[in-house]
Amino acid sequence: MTVAVPAGTSAGGLRLPAAQAAAAPPRMSFRTVALPAGSITPEGGGGTGLLELLAGRQDPVSWVRHGRGLVGWGRALCLEAAGTDRIEALRAAWRATVYASWWRDALVRPGTGPVALGTIAFSPDSAAASVLIVPRVIVGLDDAGAWLTTAVAEGEAHPDAAEVLAQMRPPASGGATASSPGAPVISPGALSETDYLATVAEVQRRMTAGEARKVVLARDLLVTPAAPLATGDLLRRLGASYPSCWTFAVDAMVGATPELLVRLENRHLASRVLAGTARRHPGDAAARAREAERLAGWLAASAKNRAEHELARASAISVLEPLCSTVEAQPPRVLTLPNVLHLATDITGVVAGDTGALSLVGALHPTAAVCGTPTAAAARIIAEVEGMDRGRYGGPVGWVDWHGEGEWCIALRSAALPPGGAGPQAPARVFGGGGIMPDSVPADELAETKAKMRPVLAALGANI
């Protein structure tokens, strides 16, 4: 059992198993204050951008899209869970912690007051812990302005807001354009490229035998940068290159994901299903624009990709309908990103009763977009042939507030960093995957994983 360390005595704060926290919740204190207008801005400009605040930081948290969202540092509380009931255990622990805590919040907007950021293991059998983390400091920005939230143990003094503001000034040396000397060392992870191709063929054989209709296979690479790279600087590179994705970091799981699992605000939910992919190639702006137009037409007409997408779309709708009073799904469209194009379906709904964001996360995960169809059969095949523990890759990542609402994505286009950041002593694990169908071409599936790894590999300094 994890030994609880009183907050304030360790940089790691209080660390508790979720079951223990639910039974005897820690008593926390939160304070949210508005920041001066213009001090934090979406693109930097006259103020400072959220991701700029993370320059040089080794263990930040981040949830930023189009320059808005949440960033933070320090750790006041960490709740941990594992196994089949890990999401529900975290939900119960967070709810109990909120009920036992006190806060002052004059803004009362999504993301203000008590907030925890989480990353959840893909599989109930994973050795990776699923966690909710309460940072000591959170800086948030939305269309109405910026705010600062501090979290401490009950009885501990909140840091002075002026002092925190002074500490927020990013160091002059940080920058999204900084480059590491030399190229990183890249080595195979669980499967070599040859082994991955063979595994795709084996999965197709099992699908043809009737075991499953779709299976999502992933692979990993081990990447050791030539010089230490702070997590905050890695995030700035990702945010600059992929502003329309959610640039996230929670407990050394980092990435820029395009797939919204669920957003819940005032009982209204939104979700985005991505399945079906076309990969893009380097070129000048005009050539890439022509290529994107051509690929969009090909993707929309591809029988294999449309079938793959429909399985994921139908799976999400079937899960949400019993939990909502209304559910509406838009027709599939093409989402264009710098490295790939996806077929995308946007889903909206109104939840019934007091269903919270983590309950929706628990119902939706694992989606057909990251596991397959039928879920149990696809998960069994993954466990038998993939050759690795995915950890938090493909699992939910996001945040939850004091009344159970929040925003959660799927941890894609991501990497698991070694403790303390991506340094030269231990490699980062970079992940990529794709949906395998009976008519998939194994070589194309391998190329798709490379395209999906490109965002993190490039941010780590790989010359690809």
Cβ 459 vs Cβ 241: under 8 Å? yes
Altogether, the residues listed in the chain come to a count of 464
- Please pick, among 52, 80, 214, 386, the residue that the annotation labels catalytic: 214
Which amino acid is located at 462 in the chain?
A
407 in catalytic set: no
- Unique residue bearing structure tokens 């290159």: 241
The Cα 320–Cα 329 span in angstroms is 11
DSSP string, 339-365: SEEEEEEEEEEEE-TT--HHHHHHHHP
- Please pick, among 43, 154, 193, 259, the residue that the annotation labels catalytic: 259
Cβ 363 vs Cβ 391: under 8 Å? no
Q: How far is CA 176 from CA 45, 50, 241, 427, 456, in A?
A: 15, 13, 9, 21, 13
Two structure tokens written together for 377: 């059969």
Beta-carbon neighbour count of residue 176 at 10 Å? 18
156 in catalytic set: no
Dihedral of the CA atoms 336, 408, 272, 362 (nearest 10)?
140
- Unique residue bearing structure tokens 């994921």: 312
Two structure tokens written together for 66: 């189009």
Q: Which residues are catalytic?
A: 214, 259
